[in-house]
Homo-oligomer: A and B are copies of this chain.
Amino acid sequence: MGEHSADVAPKGKAAPRRTSIGGRRNPASASAILEAAEAILSETGLAGFSIEAVARRAGAGKPTIYRWWPNRSALLMDVYARQKETVLRVDTGTLEGDLVELLTRLFAFWRDTPAGATFRSIIAEAQSDPASLAALQSFLADRRAYVGEVVARGIARGDLPPKADLPSLVELIFGFAWMRLLTGDIAAPDADHVPDALPARVRLLLRGAAATA
């Protein structure tokens, strides 16, 4: 990727653009590139996913792609963020139900589409590449904010007291989901397709270890 560094904006300017579409990107081309990337990912998986393949499929030049996404990992992050949008919309009527449903859907999304392999690869890449880590942190902040809204709705409904520790709850939910993904433990063994022990984990988060007796 070194040969494309001339196309990449200075670090300080590029960072905020990396996790959201729009701004100074040409919307038509950006969405054509993301659609091409998504199609390649679902057809061939990560193995066939490269900036070159995406450029060919989108009918775009590689320099165009590198101008908006500094590397493969940043492009993957945007494709992943786009796909996940629909998964998180839950409304079962209770906070406990919402969290179980949300995690069940998330695990199914990871398990049944290329998204799980994609996100594992994004997290892996972030362990050695600071730019990928920054993009991942920013994505995670967005998603935590969304789950924070689900919890806030539960608080408004009286499912939790107004002063419940929302940041702790949200962080522990994401930690649980990530570890399950990263250890390959997202299978859905029961008749309702709810992953192993998931409702128990949600119950503990809401009621505490002391209350689960």
Contact = CB atoms under 8 A, between A and B. Distances in A.
B168 A213 contact: no
Interface residues of A, number: 48
Given A123-B127, A182-B127, A209 B176 contact: no
A171 to B, nearest CB: 7
A160 interface: yes
B164 A213 contact: yes
A209 B213 contact: no
A197 interface: yes
Q: Is the interface of A mostly helix, strand, loop or mixed?
A: helix
A209 B206 contact: yes
B175 A213 contact: no
Contacts of A197: 167-168, 171
A210 B161 contact: yes
A53 interface: no
Contacts of A86: none
Interface of A: 120-121, 123-128, 133, 136-137, 140, 160-169, 171-172, 174-180, 182-184, 197, 200-201, 203-213
